[in-house]
């Protein structure tokens, strides 16, 4: 303990931070806000208590505090501290360091994993940017006020102390939240240039929390939208995925369009080719998520790209290609072209292919095929997809109705429901092609083993 106190006294100011004067936060006492320590996850609460007991500062920070203030349920509880990653790790028996440049600590608290981040310093101290001004490094430790200043929006720079139940508010985030305003910290142009993803976060958070984007925060977005092209694709992918699964996808889409941001993502091109289908699917997803259900990324991307696949499939069929290989070709072409814009990870791509490949198989209701389709691990997702196609007027409602009845029927009724197959010769020929197609799918599925269920 004494060694730690001495080390703190002689610690270099802000670990690479400049001698900028620390900004004092407003301290909001428990009687002036509704957040209570019981609302914080047990793990993050214990992490804060332990770190504080060891003489460090420790707070629950960011999205969790913001969400609790608005009455929303936080997705996760992150802890910020002035302990270095090594110091923090030593406080918890079951913990390890993650990341190379800016290390964070994962502490296992029972079954919960709590992410512990050391206060980060000013972005100006990181000083390494690409040709467009985008920050390439963000790995300098700092003091708490610097940590607050490098966060994106005022409502995300709130620190909740589970011991005292005080909130430390460095940038008037609580007032902004009360006034339903999303405001960036600092000069918006500089902050977007440093990290263009903040423009997407502005859209998502304003849609999710029902906030107005402050005019100064909003103004530069349109002219700076193009900077998103320089951001590594996986980050854009993650953010788009967060939008689609936020429960407010439709709203996000409309704000993206209002702000001129839609072009960067696959959303714009996708909407041109299947607007009705996509809007129906997103409205459906929003409802599911608001009811606490999940929606798989594969399903969402299968929806977004279906218009293109469908068009390419039809074209190949018109050119005389057999439907099954034509679909396979169309799927590969679209996924390949898509990867040049926004990389979809391989596992998700495998699931997307399965949902698409099951569509023509759902149209075949004779012989034993229907049983095979019903037993397929992606049947549920493929059936939901079929329902949407019917709702969009792409196919007759009779088909999903038949499948609903088939799922609910007993063995005898199922056998009666099957449509008569074609002649023997034709059937054998068709079966061969279908076997080839399903074999290809199965081997694809094997490659992508360890999959989570789509629904
Ligand atoms: P949610 O968890 O609902 O997606 P969040 O705001 O918690 O929203 P996270 O990605 O979990 O988002 O980030 C945690 C915190 O880290 C944010 O609240 C914010 O303070 C900070 N942060 C995240 N992304 C950025 C960014 N691009 N620039 C600056 N600060 C950021
Ligand atoms: Mg979060």
Where does ligand 1 bind, in terms of residues with CB under 6 Å? 62-63, 75, 78, 151-152, 156, 195, 197-198, 201, 242
Q: Is the dihedral angle over the CA atoms 400, 401, 402, 405 positive or is it negative?
A: positive
**Strand spans (E) along 170-289:** 181-182, 212-213
Nearest CA to ligand 1 atom 8: 63
The ligand 1 atom at the shortest distance from the C-alpha of residue 151 is 30
Distance CA 149, CA 16 (A): 15
Distance CA 159, CA 66 (A): 9
Considering every ligand atom, which ligand is closest to the CA of 62? 1
What is residue 75's three-state secondary structure?
A: coil
Distance from Cα 236 to the centre of ligand 1, integer Å: 14
Distance CA 131, CA 141 (A): 24
- Nearest residue to 439 via CA among 382, 361, 370, 365: 361
The ligand 1 atom at the shortest distance from the C-alpha of residue 242 is 4
Nearest CA to ligand 1 atom 24: 152
Distance from Cα 316 to the centre of ligand 2, integer Å: 45
Full-model pTM: 0.79
The ligand 1 atom at the shortest distance from the C-alpha of residue 63 is 7
- Positions marked catalytic: 76, 78, 152
Q: Where are the alpha helices (DSSP H) in 11-62?
A: 42-53
Contact 148, 43 (CB under 8 A): no
Phi-psi region of 395 (alpha: psi -120 to 50; beta: other; left: phi over 0): beta
pLDDT tens sequence for the chain (455 residues): 554 544 444 443 333 333 344 579 999 999 999 999 999 999 999 999 999 999 999 999 989 999 999 988 898 999 999 999 999 999 999 999 998 777 899 999 999 999 999 999 876 655 566 777 676 655 678 899 999 999 999 999 999 999 999 999 999 999 999 999 999 999 999 999 999 999 999 999 999 999 999 999 999 999 999 998 888 877 888 888 899 899 999 899 888 888 888 766 566 666 666 678 888 899 999 998 988 888 888 998 899 889 889 999 999 999 999 888 999 999 999 888 877 766 777 888 899 999 999 999 998 888 778 888 999 999 999 999 999 999 989 899 999 999 999 989 888 888 888 877 644 444 444 444 444 444 443 333 333 333 333 33
The ligand 1 atom at the shortest distance from the C-alpha of residue 191 is 28
Nearest CA to ligand 1 atom 14: 62
pLDDT at 447: 36
Distance from Cα 62 to the centre of ligand 2, integer Å: 7
Distance CA 65, CA 114 (A): 15
User: Residue 202 half-sphere exposure, CB side, CA atoms within 13 Å?
Assistant: 33
Bridge partners of 98? 104
The ligand 1 atom at the shortest distance from the C-alpha of residue 208 is 3
Considering every ligand atom, which ligand is closest to the CA of 195? 1
Which of 151, 153, 170 is the pocket-test mutation for ligand 1 (most atoms within 8 Å of CB)?
151
Distance from Cα 187 to the centre of ligand 2, integer Å: 23
Nearest CA to ligand 1 atom 15: 62
Distance from Cα 75 to the centre of ligand 2, integer Å: 6
Nearest CA to ligand 1 atom 1: 63
Distance CA 152, CA 57 (A): 21
Distance from Cα 341 to the centre of ligand 1, integer Å: 24
């Amino acid at each position: 303990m004494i060694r730690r106190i001495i080390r703190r006294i002689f610690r270099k100011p802000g670990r690479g931070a400049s001698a900028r004067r620390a900004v004092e936060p407003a301290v909001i006492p428990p009687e002036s806000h509704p957040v209570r320590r019981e609302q914080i996850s047990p793990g993050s609460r214990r992490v804060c208590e332990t770190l504080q007991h060891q003489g460090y500062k420790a707070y629950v920070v960011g999205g969790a505090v913001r969400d609790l203030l608005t009455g929303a349920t936080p997705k996760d509880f992150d802890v910020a501290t002035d302990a270095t990653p090594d110091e923090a790790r030593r406080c918890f028996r079951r913990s390890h360091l993650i990341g190379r440049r800016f290390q964070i600590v994962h502490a296992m608290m029972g079954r919960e994993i709590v992410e512990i981040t050391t206060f980060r310093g000013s972005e100006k101290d990181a000083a390494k940017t690409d040709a467009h001004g985008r920050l390439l490094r963000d790995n300098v430790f700092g003091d708490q006020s610097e940590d607050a200043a490098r966060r994106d929006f005022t409502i995300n720079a709130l620190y909740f102390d589970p011991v005292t139940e005080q909130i430390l508010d460095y940038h008037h985030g609580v007032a902004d939240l009360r006034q339903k305003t999303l405001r960036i910290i600092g000069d918006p142009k500089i902050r977007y240039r440093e990290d263009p993803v903040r423009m997407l976060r502005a859209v998502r958070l304003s849609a999710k929390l029902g906030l107005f984007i402050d005019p100064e925060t909003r103004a530069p977005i349109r002219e700076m939208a193009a900077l998103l092209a320089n951001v590594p694709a996986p980050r854009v992918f993650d953010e788009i995925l967060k939008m689609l699964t936020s429960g407010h996808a439709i709203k996000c889409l409309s704000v993206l369009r209002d702000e001129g941001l839609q072009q960067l993502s696959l959303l714009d091109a996708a909407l041109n080719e299947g607007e009705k289908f996509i809007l129906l699917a997103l409205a459906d997803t929003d409802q599911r998520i608001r009811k606490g259900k999940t929606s798989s990324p594969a399903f969402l991307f299968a929806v977004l790209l279906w218009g293109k696949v469908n068009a390419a499939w039809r074209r190949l069929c018109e050119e005389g290609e057999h439907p099954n290989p034509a679909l396979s070709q169309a799927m590969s072409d679209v996924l390949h072209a898509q990867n040049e814009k926004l990389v979809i990870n391989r596992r998700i791509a495998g699931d997307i292919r399965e949902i698409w490949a099951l569509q023509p198989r759902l149209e075949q209701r004779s012989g034993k095929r229907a049983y095979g389709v019903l037993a397929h691990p992606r049947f549920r997702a493929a059936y939901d997809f079929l329902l949407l196609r019917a709702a969009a007027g792409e196919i007759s409602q009779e088909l999903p109705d038949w499948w609903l009845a088939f799922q609910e029927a007993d063995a005898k009724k199922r056998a009666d429901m099957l449509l008569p197959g074609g002649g023997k010769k034709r059937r054998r020929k068709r079966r061969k092609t279908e076997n080839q197609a399903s074999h290809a799918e199965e081997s694809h599925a094997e490659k992508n083993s360890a999959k989570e269920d789509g629904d």
